Amino acid sequence: MPDADLLMPDVDFAYDDVPDLHERIVQLRQNGPVVPVRYHGDRTWLILDHELVKQAFEDYDHFDPAPGYQQIAAPSMGQTIQTMSGDEHRISRGLVTAPFLPSKIRSLVEDLIEPIANELLDRVAGKEVVDLVSTFTRPYPFMVITRLLGIPVEDEERMLEWAIKMIDFPWDPDGAVRAKEQFQAYMQTIIDDRRANPTGDFMSMLVQAEYEGERLSDERILGFVGLLFPAGSDTTYKNAGSLFACVLADPALRERALRSPRDRELIVTESLRWQPPTAFLPRMASNDVELGNVQIRKGEWTLFGITAANADPKVYPDPHRFDPDRDNRDILTFGRSKHFCLGMHLARRELETALRLVFERFPHMVLEKGEPVEFVGAVLRGPRALHVRPYGQREDQN
């Protein structure tokens, strides 16, 4: 394909940090609702308009996600609900949905999520300056998954290494496939144990699940639990960082974060709108389609511009203002339609719990002066680091 019409040809959205992503989106939007940009070196259609991103998510005739994910995810992740479509997807999703529904997730807050958050915040306690990303937001959703899966604490470290490597397939195919094999060999022992001695935990629910007469094979369970890390950990930690960057920068928001569960829901939702952890979501066109006055051919890659859609001024007036009270019911952060993020409730409860506990325990926490927060990444996006003083500025303590 010709590159002559590429916009911002100096930027590759797969590799570059793009700290000024929001400003670039504003510029790109002036060229139309669907624009050609560079991604992994190639010309790729970026969809910017809220209505069109929503439409593409809902259009399984032209944007069936399965064929694309077969190419980029299946080799290292195996067959998962991400790589399936039609009845196969519906049944496979039906088999794993129950543990992610609101009532089940609500019960996890006290039993699982709060203790993990507190354990990690113990490592923040007593420190003068600390990076909240590496100390708290990054390990937090990861540990929620490992403990949900019944992985012993001493194995969390190597689990983290495999999980990071497994989604590196587009960048390091051999390493990703090797990590998958190691991860699956490890998880197989837990599956075997729960098949023999179900305990009622998350893995027991998976091995016992039945939907329309179907059950989950070991292969499907392995694929699914492997998907939990990239889908549930890498995303949530990025958003947790963005959330704290925002709230720490605004005393009114911090005060509101301690007010009520409803206030925390609204603040978290606005952070999910403003800085979605999956900024641009790669999707391959599964058929020829015309979208926003451009012709997209079957097999061409597009980027669903979630951050752009969530900042579309037609839907979100003054989109760069952080306003928890706006109507955020149609944000596209968790996708849309049948492949809508299964872990949405878990992610939200993790974020709301983090927001409450951080400011209950460290009500004077401030961003460290002279350490500006830099948001990086156009696929997965969040702050690189968040240097904070848990007990406030030194003069405040005296």
Which residues in this chain contact another protein in the complex, by CB under 8 A?
54, 57-58, 90, 93-94, 97-98, 100-106, 265, 327, 329-331, 334-340, 342, 344-345, 348-349
Q: How far is the CB of 327 from another protein (least distance, A)?
A: 7
Q: How far is the CB of 134 from another protein (least distance, A)?
A: 29
Q: How far is the CB of 325 from another protein (least distance, A)?
A: 12
Number of Cβ atoms within 10 Å of the Cβ of 20: 12
Between residues 209 and 376, which has the closer beta carbon with respect to another protein?
209
Between residues 10 and 327, which has the closer beta carbon with respect to another protein?
327
Q: How far is the CB of 351 from another protein (least distance, A)?
A: 12
CA 181 from chain center: how many Å?
24
Pairing of strands 301-305, 42-47: parallel
Between residues 12 and 265, which has the closer beta carbon with respect to another protein?
265
Residue 260 DSSP SS3: coil
DSSP letter, residue 73: T
Number of Cβ atoms within 10 Å of the Cβ of 15: 15
DSSP letter, residue 134: I
Between residues 228 and 378, which has the closer beta carbon with respect to another protein?
228
Distances 196 to 193, 203, 208, 279 between C-alpha atoms, Å: 5, 12, 11, 42
CA angle 378–62–72, rounded 5-degree value: 45
Q: How far is the CB of 247 from another protein (least distance, A)?
A: 20
Between residues 71 and 97, which has the closer beta carbon with respect to another protein?
97
Distance in angstroms (rounded) separating the CA atoms of residues 60 and 79: 19
Distance in angstroms (rounded) separating the CA atoms of residues 286 and 62: 5
Between residues 103 and 197, which has the closer beta carbon with respect to another protein?
103
Q: How far is the CB of 291 from another protein (least distance, A)?
A: 18
CB 367 within 8 A of CB 386: yes
